[in-house]
Amino acid sequence: MRLSRSLKLPLLLASPFWLVACSQADAPAAPAEAAPAPMSAAAGPTETPDDPIVAPSPNASSAPFVPADADQAPPAESGPNAPADTAAAGDGDARGRIERVLGDADQYETVFKALQQGIAGDDRAAVAALMRYPLRVDTGGSKREVPDAATFQRDYERIVTAPVARAISAQSFDTVFANQQGVMIGNGQAWLNGTCLDKACSRTEVKVVALQE
């Protein structure tokens, strides 16, 4: 069949548009690398390796070094027979409180009186022998640990300062404060505490564990 010239011209003009449309429909898909990778169901959140892991410090600066009152006691040591309760001061029954909370009030009283006598007589060697080392000290304008008896005697005047000596001398054993942390003298100028010498805690040793102004 022959087409007239009047029909040939529109067909010739329309043919490029049909070619373009066909070429677009048949265009190849984009490379697979350009698409985001599918997320695996087992994949967790991405970790940032440079983020520091911050652990709480056991020696935070906000923690009290040695307590200055009954509500802030020094860190508990392995005191013998320590129950869950605490004892209040001021009722004149220090021995009963110590027996109930810490055990062996006689030993605490012995160390208490020896400390008073040693300070009153300026017997530095005797006082040094009553300390548990390293001894926590916050006196004379410095906070530190005294490692041994020799250092204690050398720095005696900076450790057993006048406020500490007065508090210890003025204290009556019948009115000491006692709780699981130990026996407090004054307003916290000295703390006594016991430590177990065997697994059953059948033998204990009481020493001064902290001094502060």
pLDDT digits (tens, 9 = 90+) for 41-94: 333 333 333 333 222 222 222 223 333 333 444 444 434 443 334 344 445 689
Q: Is beta strand 131-139 parallel, antiparallel or unpaired with respect to 204-212?
A: parallel
Contact 187, 106 (CB under 8 A): no
Torsion sign over Cα 127, 132, 138, 141: positive
Query: Roughly what angle, to the nearest 10 degrees, separates helices 94-101 and 105-120?
Result: 120
- Strand order of the β-sheet with 204-212 is 142-146, 131-139, 204-212, 190-196, 182-185, 177-179
Q: How far apart are CA 195 and CA 133, in angstroms?
A: 12
Q: 178-209, pLDDT tens digit by residue?
A: 999 999 999 999 999 999 999 998 889 999 99
CA distance 181 to 1: 116
Q: What is the pLDDT of residue 23?
A: 47
148 vs 26 pLDDT, higher one: 148
Q: Residue 6: what pLDDT?
A: 53
81-132: pLDDT as tens digits: 433 343 444 456 899 999 999 999 999 999 999 999 999 999 999 999 999 9
- Going by C-beta distance under 8 Å and a sequence separation of 6 or more, which residues neighbour residue 165? 119
Q: pTM above 0.75?
A: no
